Structure 1
């Protein structure tokens, strides 16, 4: 499906307008949202702080009442009498009534205290005041947990939340807040009992009502041990506060963001956590983003109508240029464009005409070049026939000498023929070490036939390296270098050793001669290719260069030499054996 220029212009402009409006609207939305969140955060933090201050007053009132009970000498005497005369029912009744009258003021001062219990150190309950009839005696499990937590304290009031059984309805429990502390004698401060107060949730609910008015708003109150003491909605998941979080922060939970306010009282060590959803605030701020998007859509419709009206005249030169390019693609290289204006489209038309002239000229040049290349190819094929002709001639000469039983000359011709055939193969075609060493033996046979002074050559290679792949004609320049340069001034005792082995995961081929050796600057000359005047550095440098191009580091060539003491050349190649290699 082809899309016209008009449609492309409308589409491009639509994308630009829509993108600009979207970015502008989004930035406005984010800026407004950030400012709004900062304002709401400040107000919510102040409300949380004020609620914590009001809670602190209620908590301190409970502390005051517990101090009144614990340090009241009359209550101390009555409780101790109950503990010592527990079998006398009448005396117990009298003491209970006296406690009831003493604790009546507690009910008046703090109506949210539902029940009061006095226990001795052995856990025997000597008194409990039924201020609320829906609360009975504490069961053993609840009392054991209360006592365990109080034992870990230093005498301060310990708060906790517990589910207590309802004596009026079998199997039903209600959640209450329990505040407990040790009872001590006024003079000796000796602990003689345990005070337990059961408090209604409304002690905190009324104070925290303002923080829970919003939708999806919750409050969580933690006591001094950071255990949950009160929550407006017990089914709401408890918040996990990140470490190092500030007093006010925003966190995303699921699809919505929530504003958190955390306030810790330095007196009671209580922590109040308020949480409210920002979904309603975000929905109001999103109106700015919607307005920007609708404005962009309106601008797109208006721009599309204007482009459709005026694009015909503006794009006529472009249409002429497109027609001319189609004709050129079909093979008409004589087509030209007539400029209709003096703007950028006219420049494109003139450039097209210049390009058409250049294309015609290039076609003629390419045709002539192809003719020249075919002629050069024919000459190259003719040049390749000469070495093959020489190889075939040597092969025929070998068989003639073989028939005449001139085996020494025949073997020499065979070695020369094999070496020539090996060298005619493509250099980039890999061989194996076995074949490379066989051609080195051919070369040594030829040198042995022509040299007046005999030499001794040894070739050693284990079976595990003979079938390793390696580049073709890599050893011949090294061996030739020994005869041309190392043995040049030596008349007798010439010795050449070639060994191959696997070491450190590499194929190492070492060539050692006892020739004239080299100076250190000559070695640097060869390794750096600083001189190309002699054959020796050219041959060795070609070996070094081929290894660099084919393998790179850590593979390469090393030269160790002592002037007058011989030379050792080590090749480091990849150890790459072949599994099925047929060799001659």
Structure 2
């Protein structure tokens, strides 16, 4: 089957072969794109769940720490000696007046407890006679649920119990148990009810993001928030789903949900994030890539058609010419051996090869003539190379200009010509691949001398290099391109003066050299793209990649060049090289070894 398909493909015309190949490649690329996109979505969902779970764990931990504080508060209230004494006196007292006085004292004591707690909405104590003593908001504990709260406290017999109301109320209840000294008795003195401001705890402990919502449920009721921003159907689906995370489709928008269950309270924490807004850019990119792919596919078919026609039509015309030449009276020449698979093919290429073998003896003269022309062209190119300007002639000319500048008392032109001559000699002479740092700084000084003639006082250049580092070896033309880069990108765009500084220091067996400027700087995204080679710089000299590679090839992969930049502040090129001193030939041989 494969052999027949291969034979059929080979015998197709080039035009159909190219269209079939382009279609297969494009469809394969699109299938790969869909596969990778699906993997990216799955990976992103997992990462979103991991991050959301971490957030939920932290949030639940902080919330339940505050709830534990509320439990401790209820314990401190029911074990308070004054409240114990007042409640016991209420049971013993028969005078209504005295009972009211005692209840007033209990109220004041509750106010003292509730006043220092920012998460307490209200505090309500109920004695054995059913009388109420309030602290805080009197509407904090609805009257209809008080009997149920008292029964709940009795069921827990002195331990704290949490009650969730239908309207988002969260109440901690506990019985007052009479005790004498350190021994507890089973005598019931009353009930304390503390309504907790769960909304304030959540708002203070949890950072809310735009559009996201934290929902707390005890399994039957919603503890937070009081007013549900989402539909109850969506929330129930998020609370009761089979997976701890997933995407829930609503009527107008989908949501990414993640949930955890607290081992302390048994509550369920559900985090809902709008899926469409979170993935809006991803979905937009996916749609854009799909449309772009369709456009590229159609464009590729169109270009493939034109390309194949541009190949087959010249071949057809060439075959017609070759058949015309074949009828001429030319000397008979032997044919060169040909590839049998190619000559047997029934497409345009096979026909071209078969015709070419018959025409080869006819075009020998053309080959000889073309060979002779190539010899003439090669000789002409050689003479052109020999006619190039001798560098020594250029240096002598610069010396003459320098002498004339001095004779005419033009010191600035003289300095500029001397700097240009030194810079040309240093650039042309590349026999020394490693030079002393002081020699490299001389090249930089010559370059800056030329640039100062152009920028004058706008160019503020300083060198801060200790003299003892002057013998440090560095690859030739390492600093000058960096200074040129600073002038090009930092000085030229500015109107005011630009400060360019070279400084160096030694750290143990390493030398650090920094070329920095106070230009416009670069963003982190631009630096990342520059490191990845995605940015095409405007310069035409030695590039940053060239400098990095020469440092690594000279000293090893542990050394190199780093770029540090802050927008609108500065840009610094940080070079790190080993501290090598000595004669040039000694160090070069050591580096090469």
**TM class, shorter-length:** 0.3 to 0.5
Higher Rg of the two aligned structures: 1
TM-score between both structures, scaled by the size of structure 1:
0.44
Calculate the TM-score normalised by the size of structure 2: 0.44
